[in-house]
Amino acid sequence: MTDTTPAAPASAARQAPATGTARLMDGTGLARALVAEAAAKAADITARTGAAPCLATVLVGEDPASVTYVKMKRNRCAKAGVESRHVALPASVGTAELVETVGALSEDPSVHGILLQHPMGHHIDERAAFEAIAPAKDVDGVTMHSFAAMGFGLPGFASCTPGGIMRLLDAYDVDLAGKHAVVVGRSAILGKPAGMLLLGRDATVTYCHSRTKDLAAHVRDADVLIAAVGRARFIQGADIKPGAVVIDAGYNEGNVGDVDFESARERASLITPVPGGVGPMTIAVLLSQTVEAATRQLGLQAA
């Protein structure tokens, strides 16, 4: 994971009030700054080597949401001077062929990062496919190597959304040491790694999930709340501790998050809006990590 955190956008408030109307955490502005930084580094790599950093995107089938996500990621690459090489495979592709394809990209020195879009279809062994990504090219943070590195606090690439959450917290000078961080959701790409990263920064972490008893009691005790559930307006302001920092990673139908924004902002000190909070950070971290991967693989000093 990279440790470069651009300064908070000019609109950011460095000091948030303890209670009242929360300050917004501007993910759009922070993502823009991170992409600009990645673009400058990509331009430097291109000037020094004659070739741009390259992200390979692998898409299995034609799921409309996945097609859109990959297109968005490739567009952002193009704007940042990062090459993207797209590999489209039919929905009928088997695990062995997919592993072979990803393995070949892992071996290809002109590819610096690999994004394997998921879900890939029930007949595919997704774990086997992810593990075919060389750790040095795992810019989406999906391999067991990256996950373990995150857990041990060793260098490696973070899952992009949790990595984006940490950058947001840092940009707004949120001191995590000793704070009670409550993560609602424990998926492998979001909740679980977010909690690991918070623990690595000395927060006291509680994970909540669908089997948690008295969820509201845990939420009410959170100094830092990470909502990663996937249910619209699941967490209400009345359950938020006054002055808490609220990070809403949810993105649900109707462009709404997992937190009821209007009631939550009356209690929180800092809060991410949806859209414009966590969402834009994910692709920005992917780009940043791709450029970082290229820098390391090419043996270049960061620009």
Question: Among the options 26, 138, 140, 258, which is catalytic?
Answer: 140
- Is there binding between residue 158 and ligand NAP (CB under 6 A)? no
Q: Is 202 a catalytic residue?
A: no
In the region spanning residues 203 to 222, those forming contacts with ligand NAP, defined by CB under 6 A, are 208-212, 215
Q: How far is the CB of 22 from ligand NAP (least distance, A)?
A: 19
Distances 155 to 184, 214, 293 between C-alpha atoms, Å:
26, 37, 12
Cα–Cα dist 32/47, whole Å: 22
Q: Is 241 a catalytic residue?
A: no
Q: Residue 66 has which token pair?
A: 């996945």
* Helix, strand, coil % over all residues of the chain, rounded to 5: 40, 15, 45
Q: Quick one: which of 77, 189, 264, 271 contacts ligand NAP (CB under 6 A)?
A: 189
Between 243 and 276, CB nearer to ligand NAP: 276
Between 208 and 240, CB nearer to ligand NAP: 208
Contact 99, 124 (CB under 8 A): no
- Is there binding between residue 34 and ligand NAP (CB under 6 A)? no
Q: Residue 103 has which token pair?
A: 């393995």
Question: Among the options 117, 179, 223, 258, which is catalytic?
Answer: 117
In the region spanning residues 231 to 290, those forming contacts with ligand NAP, defined by CB under 6 A, are 231, 249-252, 278-279, 282
| Complete edge-to-edge strand list for the sheet that includes strand 113-116 | 83-89, 54-60, 113-116
Cα–Cα dist 209/53, whole Å: 38
Q: How far is the CB of 108 from ligand NAP (least distance, A)?
A: 27
Q: Quick one: which of 81, 156, 185, 195 contacts ligand NAP (CB under 6 A)?
A: 185
Q: Quick one: which of 5, 187, 204, 206 contacts ligand NAP (CB under 6 A)?
A: 187
Q: How far is the CB of 192 from ligand NAP (least distance, A)?
A: 8
Contact 157, 140 (CB under 8 A): yes
Q: How far is the CB of 217 from ligand NAP (least distance, A)?
A: 13
Q: Is 41 a catalytic residue?
A: no
* H or E element that contains 19: none
Q: Residue 154 has which token pair?
A: 């060793």
Contact 247, 224 (CB under 8 A): yes
Stretch that binds ligand NAP, among 9-17, 90-98, 180-188, 262-270 (CB under 6 A): 180-188
* CA torsion, ordered 237, 243, 248, 252, to nearest 10 deg: 20
Q: How far is the CB of 51 from ligand NAP (least distance, A)?
A: 29
Catalog residues that contact ligand NAP under the rule CB under 6 A.
161, 184-187, 189-191, 208-212, 215, 228-231, 249-252, 278-279, 282
**Annotated catalytic sites, by residue?**
73, 117, 140
